[in-house]
Amino acid sequence: MKFICVLLFAFWILLSQRLFVFLAANQKATMIQIFKRRFQSILILTLFISTFQVFAKAPVMTKKELSVAPPRIIRTCCGFGVEVGIAGVPFAKKTDITSREIMGPHTFMGHKDERNGNIYTRRGGFLDMGHLRDCADWTAYLYNLIKAYQTDDKFTHTELRNEGGAKSLMLNVPRDFDDEKIIQLAGKISYDLSLWHEISTWFGASYVPLVPERFSSFSPEDMYSNLLGVHLGMRAIRSNLDYNEAMTVELDKMLDSLEAVNTGAETFDAMLKVNQVWYTNEKKYPNKKLVLKRYIDLDSDFSPWLVPGYESQLPPYLLRKPDNTLSKYFELSLKLNFRFPVDSIIPERDDRIITQNDFDIFVGFIQAEINKEALKEEEKEIKKEKTDKAKSRKR
């Protein structure tokens, strides 16, 4: 980019000199000198600014690539917990843990060399690296899509992959949106898509047919990892490095800042510490009771869940949610399938079509269901204690 600026500068100097020669021939010397000095000063200032400007960089994508949305789940990772059994597979135990020792560089849309998994950080809690990288890449894809929309109306409407029903994105972005506003908007849409994934899995949407994923919906690390990925994706786009390199650098800096543990064994120990508290490995995948605590308080900025005894001396790393006012520039439209009790959630709705503006209602409904389930479990425990006491008296 700097080289192009230099060429443009040289071109304008050459053009201005020809103009000065022409004006000189017409005997306007005094005005020429004033004009020449001011014009060249402006050109020098322009070159200086252009040379040191940081240009947004996102992965280069063709219009054909942009017209086909990525899968909602790019990287199939990671289950929360350690040594969790798998229903129907005797003796199999699943542990999705990574570490800074083995993690590879970032690759747009994923690569096995990334070696994703869960990693514990003392200021950001558990991070699901698959979720994080997915949300970063979705932010980059959406940035490219919005940029393409600014010059081609073909990208006004984009069909997204089915997730709990047909899903599409409609853009209504002012043509004069600058790069920073586009980056912020891409982050907002990416965040909303990640939120919908958690909502839809609660109601039975799944990546693998007939394998329910409710067990993973709003698990302790999900939404924090998602939002952190959005922020890192936006940072990478703002960088003047190539996207993959920028993401690798930004991720490394963030893991330093969050005080990530160095080894997989440390993450494993932190996971064991919350076994029977946040999850139970007495249940098997995909049992919906595997996760005991769900991160669903989304009203304010995100604060991570930290494992007692595994915190930093520094405060937890808070994540700011995207600006809700950006919702007016797009519409995520979803035609929900039969799994969603729309009549119970939005009784006044005549059809099964919702947008991102309805997501908070669904989150509230899920929160109420979680509270009911917790109350039932509590009542069951009280009843069991009474029964046990009665039995011990009889003895």
CA-to-CA separations, 164 to 160, 285, 335, 345, in angstroms, rounded: 12, 21, 8, 15
Rounded to whole angstroms, the Cα distance separating 233 from 244 reads: 10
Mapped onto helix, strand or coil, the DSSP state of residue 208 is coil
Q: What's the pLDDT score for residue 377?
A: 84
Q: What's the pLDDT score for residue 45?
A: 35
- Residues of the chain scoring pLDDT < 70: 1-56, 395
Q: What's the pLDDT score for residue 236?
A: 98
CA-to-CA separations, 72 to 93, 208, 300, in angstroms, rounded: 26, 12, 25
Neighbours of 123 (CB within 10 A): 18
First to last CA, the chain: 85
Q: What's the pLDDT score for residue 317?
A: 99
Mapped onto helix, strand or coil, the DSSP state of residue 384 is helix
Neighbours of 78 (CB within 10 A): 25
DSSP label at residue 57? -
* 309 token code pair: 């005894």
Mapped onto helix, strand or coil, the DSSP state of residue 112 is helix
Is 118:129 a contact under the CB 8 Å cutoff?
A: yes
Domain range summary for the chain, segments of one domain joined by +: 2-52, 63-150+179-321
Query: Positive or negative, the Cα torsion across 103, 109, 112, 118?
Result: positive
Mapped onto helix, strand or coil, the DSSP state of residue 94 is strand
Q: What's the pLDDT score for residue 73?
A: 87
Q: What's the pLDDT score for residue 56?
A: 66
Strand partners of residue 381: none
- Long-range contacts from 146-150, C-beta under 8 angstroms, 24+ separation: 146/171, 146/173, 146/177, 146/182, 146/185, 146/186, 147/58, 147/182, 148/63, 148/66, 149/173, 150/175, 150/177
* 327 token code pair: 């919702």
Q: What pTM value is reported for the model?
A: 0.84
Q: What's the pLDDT score for residue 153?
A: 93
